Chains A and B, each alone.
Chain A
């Protein structure tokens, strides 16, 4: 018997290297089906799950009759694999402000996967269907008439600026009043480079050195693209190069947060509260 097998393996010249034993010669006549032709027949929802095609057709059964017992060859399948692609796009209306993406009322069209994960599941947006279009008509028109932000990135930069606290390091011995070039340097130390025209300081001048103003806060505004006005919290720290006279510096937003002038107490508090609201949007 082994001799016969060996002879077969030698004689079957079509085999790979002429050594592999072919079990069913009859199956060699079968051809693979061209699965690429079947790809356009697929449904839209069938693109991302395994879809399968029988190589050997099942024999006909009587009308409305029972299934016949299948042979093992009927369980041979070929997978229909469409090329890699993104999910088809769907429309979305924002209900809340999402920094970097848009203001509430903007319409976006995104691939269905990302739209669901980033906007619809956390309830930042709703589907763009005729019912919702009626419901949120007032917000949509407001955005159409006048975009609240000059650019999409302006919203994101305003978010970053509002979370910032800028330290003004002032001299402990020589007298000074806070000016625009002081602010420019302070912002640069915080990691933001801007021109002096973009900064607005409070109207009442701040003079020093004054030990009562140590570690106290005031609010300055930054103007983006000549349109958006973002309030930024600033703190005064007295500085000297002598190691013995140096004062300790508290961290960012570390209490107590108190104003330089008592008039600005509400203004400072509102900025701190607004910051805690915005931090929830993390992307």
Chain B
């Protein structure tokens, strides 16, 4: 078990020697997804950042001094373990999730397993850019965040992907960014279309046009998109039967030409000289 000792987890060598660093296996580091463009990897980093504290009071200071004794104590932030169920990805919970753990109200009795679930209510959001009403399950925290940012579109465009987290929110954000980037808004009135575009125009400085095209995709979707674009770059695939047919016709034409040539040659020159020319080993190859 010599190799286990070398692993950084079993030795205290995290920051000392980078030689001992062995990266964890991940689907972005090997396999097909290794060839994904940088724009997608940038988005994936944004998604995997540490989210803001929702279900606990965060510890922001690293050290704390005891006022009486003067002893310095190190602190650390450990958030509770969260679960993101399927219903989370269908709604807009505003970063809230399910907590799994134990409650222990009576100290002399055994502890009780418990799930803490946020209160959900079915409500409506209006996206000004897409001109669309959406009914989903929401928490009160979502409404507070929308009010804080003065609108649903501003809330989506100002918060990073790690805080939105749910599939629905990321998909709507992707649609909004794409429609702004292409300048294809669904409003019928041209005056209102320009007015809406001008209010949300300044967000395009933050997001690059290449970055937008890869924004909000899952890994398997991104791989699908990459493969599709590669096929598109190669052009339409020609079936082999057309190619073989062309070759065959070419061969037949050549054969026919070859039959005609020797007759002409025989008529112009003598038969013997033609045989010698063929057998002559010193002839230059044209």
Contact = CB atoms under 8 A, between A and B. Distances in A.
Interface string A101-142: 000000000001101110001010001010000000000000
Contacts of A116: 123, 143, 146-147
A52 B74 contact: no
Contacts of A15: 108
A51 interface: yes
Given A31-B107, A49-B139, A121-B126, 14 more contacts: A15-B108, A22-B108, A51-B57, A52-B99, A52-B116, A62-B14, A63-B14, A75-B81, A75-B102, A77-B80, A77-B101, A112-B147, A116-B147, A121-B123
10 shortest A-B CB distances, which residue pairs? Answer: A48-B140, A50-B116, A75-B101, A49-B118, A127-B150, A76-B102, A49-B96, A77-B101, A58-B78, A45-B144
Contact of A58 (B12, B57, B76, B96): B76
A124 B107 CA distance: 53
Contacts of B150: 127, 129
B55 A60 contact: no
Interface of B: 9, 12, 14-15, 54-57, 74, 76, 78, 80-81, 94, 96, 99-104, 107-111, 114, 116-119, 123-126, 139-141, 143-148, 150-151
Given A112-B147, A121-B126, A28 B55 contact: no
A66 interface: yes
Interface in A33-77: 38, 41-42, 44-46, 48-55, 58, 60-66, 72, 75-77
B139 A28 contact: no
Nearest to A22: B108
Contacts of B117: 50
16 contacts: A15-B108, A31-B107, A45-B144, A53-B56, A62-B12, A72-B102, A75-B100, A75-B101, A75-B102, A76-B101, A76-B103, A76-B111, A77-B114, A80-B57, A87-B144, A121-B125
B225 to A, nearest CB: 34
Interface of A: 14-16, 20, 22-23, 27-28, 30-32, 38, 41-42, 44-46, 48-55, 58, 60-66, 72, 75-80, 87, 90, 112-113, 115-117, 121, 123, 127, 129
Nearest to B101: A75
Contacts of B125: 121
